[in-house]
Chain A
Amino acid sequence: MKILVTIKPVFEEIQMTDPDILKKNFLKNNPDLNLKINRFDDHALEEALKLKGKNTAIEIYTISVGAADSLEILKKTIGKGADKAFLIETETKNANDPDFVSDAVKDVFMENNCDLLFCGMMSEDMMNGVTGLLTASKLSIPSLSGITFIEDISSEKIIVKRELEGGTEQKAELSLPCALNFQAGINKPGYPNVMRMLKADERSIIVKSHEKPDFKNSIKIKDLKLPSKTRKGEILEGSIEDKAKAFVEILKQKKIL
């Protein structure tokens, strides 16, 4: 059985980075920010590794669609236990276009006769939440999103749990081949083994292109700006004690205290 896991390289520490710096780097082909594995994808890869842990006949392939600097990220996936990795080398505008990415992933999935496609349910940068689902549609295989747990798997079908809005959970059965889009926080991704990582070479990481002369991008990312505010956002000044006093004052004004 072969599992293809999509791995999007995204900036490290998005949460702590000044939005202007994100803005300057996002659409550049050689950004100055460090890359890491998209959080959701790291959890998806971990689920694949758990299955391999129980059944060594399972092969895990990883795939990134992006610039050459994605190679380091793919080496990490080899270090974590993937058997082979594919880099579809392309410009940033394509790596952020779900239409391009799903086309490229579809080809690799078919060329390698894969049985399962594991994706994150969302990329931390684009947050589309669609790329895995779109790939499944192009492959004409069933797909579900919000996966939190794999309950059982055979060569014909897989039983999973997934989570929807407002505390609703579902248990579902999908026939193979199929695509699963994983939620984050569902397992503890391990660290890459450095020896395995160092041994990754051109036999384990295959670099290809996916240039089709008639391909046109489906979207164009235009202006990037700071989000509009929905509330006033008054910033409190002064020492930390002053701010604590102000907090307590608000509680009194609002008749909480």
Chain B
Amino acid sequence: MDKKIILVCDSHANKTDQAKKLINFGQNLYSYLKNEIILVVFNEKNIENFSRKINFGNILNIKTKTHEFGDIISGLETVIEKTDFSYLCFDSSIKSLEQASYLAGKFNASIITNVLKIEDKNQFSRMIFNSKLEAGIKNLKEKCVLTIAGSSFDENDSIFSKNSIEEIEIPHENSDIKIIETMSRSESSSLDNAKIILSVGRGLNSSEEIEKVFEVSKLIPGSSVGCSRPIVDKGLLEYQRQVGITGRSVSPKIYSAFGISGSTQHLFGMKDCEFIISVNNDPHASIFGHSDVCIVEDAVLFLEALKNELEN
């Protein structure tokens, strides 16, 4: 049996975008492996229409009773049992990580997460050490599960003209994980309308130090104060101010980071800002690679200097 590249699109909200991103990745992988690509989606009501929207025809639509782990997994297991795969690709959400790890364990596959680029046949790059280094990771097994973080994969023309849309139905499985309740904490925040966000991270250690950024913010109209996750964890600022993957995604004109290292989870929330200025006392801080302007200084001293300058 020929091996296939299976792409799993398990999103509710941005299904089309996620599918396109996965297909781009799959097609890049195809250029190395020449394995056929199948896109797996769940409970898509109008599959013909969806296929046209993403301009891709090799789709398997799995119908499940619920969208819970147990049902999604039995759907995927059914597919994998009939389709030998070389690569099984997911996006990088926490739920995808859970599914990906489960299947890697069951099917004796290797697993490489948060893939940024394809470096070579069977070799992928990803961040390590809180994004201070990028590593090339080689897959040494016959089967490999990937989760994809990068979004800038070349768009190839659709390789598969063949249209083969299939649907299967999966009986409900009782899972030993029961989701009792899902809650949302996404109330509105002053960050949403800010023209400039001054954001503080672990480089500022106490409420006295954090007060400095509020003093500066008072002098800049249209500004608001944001922060990284550890600042919220320590109870120094409220959750509504957290920027990042488990916080808010923001897009002010200017984002200014004070004492923030530049982890992928934080960058996720601010990468689309028009202009980024970072202040960090470590010249090697990874945030500098994602900034327009870099200031190597102690954040507290710099905030004091900035306040003086604004007052003049």
Chain A interfacial positions (CB closer than 8 Å to B): 14-19, 22-23, 26, 98-99, 102, 124-130, 133-138, 142-146, 159, 163-175, 178, 184-186, 216-236, 240-241, 243-248, 250-251, 254, 256-257
Contacts and interface: CB of A to CB of B under 8 A. Distances in A.
B131 interface: yes
Given A137-B102, A257-B220, A164 B94 contact: yes
Nearest to A106: B105
B246 A172 contact: no
Contacts of A232: 292
Please give me the 6 A-B residue pairs with the lowest Cβ-Cβ distance, nearest first: A137-B105, A185-B233, A133-B101, A218-B110, A167-B185, A244-B305
Contacts of A231: 276, 289-292
Nearest to B303: A244
A228 B294 CA distance: 16
Contacts of A23: 133
B175 A142 contact: yes
A144 B196 contact: no
A186 B235 CA distance: 11
Contacts of A136: 101-102, 105
B181 interface: yes
B305 A227 contact: no
A108 B99 CA distance: 24
B254 interface: yes
B282 A130 contact: no
B246 A234 contact: no
Contacts, number: 267
A149 to B, nearest CB: 12
B156 to A, nearest CB: 21
B183 A221 contact: no
B277 A145 contact: no
22 contacts: A14-B129, A15-B132, A15-B261, A99-B111, A137-B101, A146-B94, A159-B180, A163-B246, A167-B247, A168-B186, A170-B180, A217-B140, A218-B110, A222-B136, A241-B309, A244-B305, A244-B306, A247-B306, A251-B196, A251-B254, A256-B195, A256-B254
Given A127-B129, A128-B113, A224-B128, 16 more contacts: A98-B111, A124-B130, A127-B128, A130-B111, A137-B101, A167-B248, A168-B182, A173-B177, A218-B139, A227-B127, A233-B294, A244-B309, A248-B306, A251-B220, A256-B195, A256-B222
Nearest to B296: A235
Nearest to A247: B306
Contacts of A254: 253-254, 274-275
Contacts of A168: 182-186
Given A133-B98, A247-B295, A256-B221, A172 B93 contact: no
B179 interface: yes
A217 B138 CA distance: 10
A220 B178 contact: no
Contact of A19 (B105, B249, B284, B302): B284
B102 A133 contact: yes
Given A98-B111, A164-B94, A256-B220, A19 B185 contact: no
A229 B130 contact: no
Main secondary structure of the interface of B (DSSP, over half): mixed
B63 interface: no
Contact of B181 (A143, A145, A170, A216): A170
A220 to B, nearest CB: 4
B275 A222 contact: no
Nearest to A135: B105
B308 interface: yes
Candidate in B110, B223, B239, B253 with the most chain A CB atoms within 10 angstroms = B110
Given A130-B111, A146-B94, A250-B254, A219 B139 contact: yes
Interface in B221-248: 221-223, 229-230, 232-234, 239, 245-248
B141 interface: yes
A165 B93 contact: yes
A22 B129 CA distance: 8
A224 B295 contact: no
Candidate in B127, B138, B141, B293 with the most chain A CB atoms within 10 angstroms = B293
Contact of A166 (B176, B246, B301): B246
Contact of B233 (A98, A144, A146, A184): A184
Contact of B245 (A99, A165, A251): A165
Given A170-B182, A247-B306, A221 B177 contact: no
A19 B261 CA distance: 13
B155 interface: no
A139 to B, nearest CB: 9
A229 B289 CA distance: 4
Contact of A172 (B111, B178, B220): B178
Contacts of A102: 105
A226 B133 contact: yes
B113 A130 contact: yes
A244 B308 contact: yes
A134 B105 contact: yes
B286 interface: yes
